[in-house]
């Protein structure tokens, strides 16, 4: 076979190394039965945070159903969270990736990050179609008019409060699609799931396992619920015959140890993100503030009680598996990291309301 016979436009082509069909049965391009011509070469840019990366994954399903032989590249700061079997090329943000992307011709580029570096990169990459956000004349810009509204709601709180669409409806419209309840996707380590399923089944003795995610990160502290509320919730769930499990990361480790001792509810410790996802997958339902756990639980199709104060309630897509709980009076600290009142709105959410909501979804 000649070099000119190589199918450079095949989905299986790996550049300088043998493709999968060649490794399996010795196929070569001149006589290959596995040839799949790339329909669209697509780049998706969503760098971080982790929760935002996860809640962008429904677009993968839409892209796959729209372009059956698409080659999809995803540039991100969080590659470990993404489903590798649905992405052809997964790139971390580094100098090598940036160099390669600027010297690659794409059919479609989708950038859903408003960070300056993501928008500058979008403006530099060669593509026939661009959707989302770019950089023009020294400032953020919309690739098409469909992205302008999302920029404006980011600039002005008043417009953001008026929005009645979920985040997923918004990003699908930005990409000139219609959201049809496409699900989240996430990387799941099944070996770790098996180990934790066995361990938690032994501890819970047939009771439904309720994950209590106590942290929310430092960006918006107004999302934090008090230790007393978490303890009340854990004790109430135990009284009703459930098995509560405190969950969190390194920042919540000391707090969760205290809560576990005070309430006699189980706390497994803090682990890697991969193990945290596996433990979450073993829960029957989750109680959480608006944070990364919300997106992990949604991706794992878990029932969920979501406590919200400072964000637009229309933003969240719970797929009919969750209940949104807010304060008795609407929160006035929109996207605020400090409360303008003596007592934060989160503290006005009673644990009995949260437990009642959990019983409804179960």
pLDDT, one tens digit per residue, over 232-263 is 999 999 999 999 999 999 999 999 999 999 99
**pLDDT score at 329:** 74
**pLDDT score at 95:** 94
Q: CATH top-level class for 190-361?
A: alpha beta
- Strands 243-247, 303-307: pairing is unpaired
The answer to whether residues 263 and 257 touch, using CB atoms and an 8 Å cutoff, is no
pLDDT at 334 over 70: no
* Domain ranges, ordered by start, for the chain: 38-174, 190-361
Please give the Cα distance from 237 to 150 (Å, whole number): 40
The answer to whether residues 46 and 17 touch, using CB atoms and an 8 Å cutoff, is no
The pTM of the full predicted model, rounded to 2 decimals, is 0.92
Q: How confident is the model at residue 2 (pLDDT cuts 50, 70, 90)?
A: confident
Please give the Cα distance from 92 to 90 (Å, whole number): 7
- Report, in this order, helix, strand and coil percent for the chain, each rounded to 5: 45, 20, 40
Q: What is the pLDDT of residues 93-106, one digit of tens each?
A: 999 999 999 999 99
pLDDT at 218 over 70: no
Please give the Cα distance from 124 to 132 (Å, whole number): 14
Q: How confident is the model at residue 213 (pLDDT cuts 50, 70, 90)?
A: very high
Please give the Cα distance from 312 to 146 (Å, whole number): 20
**pLDDT score at 280:** 98
**pLDDT score at 361:** 95
Q: How confident is the model at residue 1 (pLDDT cuts 50, 70, 90)?
A: confident
Q: How far apart are the first and last CA of the chain?
A: 62
**pLDDT score at 30:** 85
Backbone φ, ψ for residue 238 (5° rounding) = -65, -40
CATH 3.40.50.720 is right for the domain spanning 38-174? no
Cα 325 → chain centroid: 20
Tell me whether domains 38-174 and 190-361 share a fold. yes
Q: Per-residue pLDDT averaged across 154-163, rounded?
A: 89
CB-based burial of residue 262 (10 Å sphere; 0-12 exposed, 13-18 middle, 19+ buried)?
A: middle
pLDDT at 349 over 90: yes
Q: Which of 6-15, 73-82, 203-212 has the lowest mean pLDDT?
A: 6-15
**pLDDT score at 300:** 98
**pLDDT score at 188:** 95
Please give the Cα distance from 118 to 43 (Å, whole number): 12
Helix ranges restricted to H, 175-244: 190-204, 227-239
Q: What is the pLDDT of residues 30-81, one digit of tens each?
A: 888 898 999 999 999 999 888 999 999 999 999 999 998 999 999 999 899 9
């Amino acid at each position: 076979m000649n070099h000119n016979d190589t199918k450079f436009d095949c989905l299986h082509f790996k550049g300088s190394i043998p493709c999968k069909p060649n490794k399996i049965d010795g196929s070569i391009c001149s006589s290959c039965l596995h040839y799949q011509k790339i329909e669209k070469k697509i780049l998706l840019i969503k760098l971080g945070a982790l929760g935002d990366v996860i809640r962008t994954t429904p677009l993968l399903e839409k892209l796959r159903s729209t372009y059956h032989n698409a080659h999809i590249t995803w540039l991100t700061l969080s590659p470990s969270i993404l489903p590798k079997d649905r992405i052809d090329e997964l790139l971390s943000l580094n100098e090598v990736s940036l160099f390669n992307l600027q010297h690659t011709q794409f059919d479609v580029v989708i950038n859903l990050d408003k960070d300056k570096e993501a928008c500058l990169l979008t403006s530099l990459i060669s593509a026939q179609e661009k959707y989302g956000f770019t950089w023009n004349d020294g400032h953020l810009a919309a690739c098409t008019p469909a992205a302008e509204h999302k920029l404006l709601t980011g600039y002005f709180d008043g417009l953001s409060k008026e929005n009645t669409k979920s985040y997923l409806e918004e990003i699908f419209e930005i990409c000139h699609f219609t959201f049809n309840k496409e699900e989240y996707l996430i990387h799941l380590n099944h070996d770790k799931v098996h180990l934790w399923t066995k361990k938690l089944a032994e501890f819970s003795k047939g009771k439904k396992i309720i994950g209590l995610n106590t942290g929310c990160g430092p960006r918006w502290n107004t999302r934090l619920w008090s230790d007393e509320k978490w303890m009340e919730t854990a004790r109430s769930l135990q009284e009703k015959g459930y098995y509560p499990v405190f969950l969190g990361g390194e920042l919540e480790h000391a707090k969760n140890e205290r809560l576990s001792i005070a309430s006699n509810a189980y706390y497994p410790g803090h682990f890697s993100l991969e193990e945290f996802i596996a433990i979450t997958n073993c829960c029957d339902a989750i109680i959480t503030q608006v944070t990364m756990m919300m997106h992990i639980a949604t991706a794992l199709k878990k029932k969920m009680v979501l406590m919200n104060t400072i964000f637009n309630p229309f933003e969240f897509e719970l797929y009919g598996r969750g209940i949104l709980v807010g304060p008795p009076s609407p929160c006035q600290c929109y996207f605020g990291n400090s409360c303008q009142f003596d007592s934060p709105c989160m503290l006005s959410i009673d644990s009995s309301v949260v437990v009642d909501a959990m019983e409804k979804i179960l």
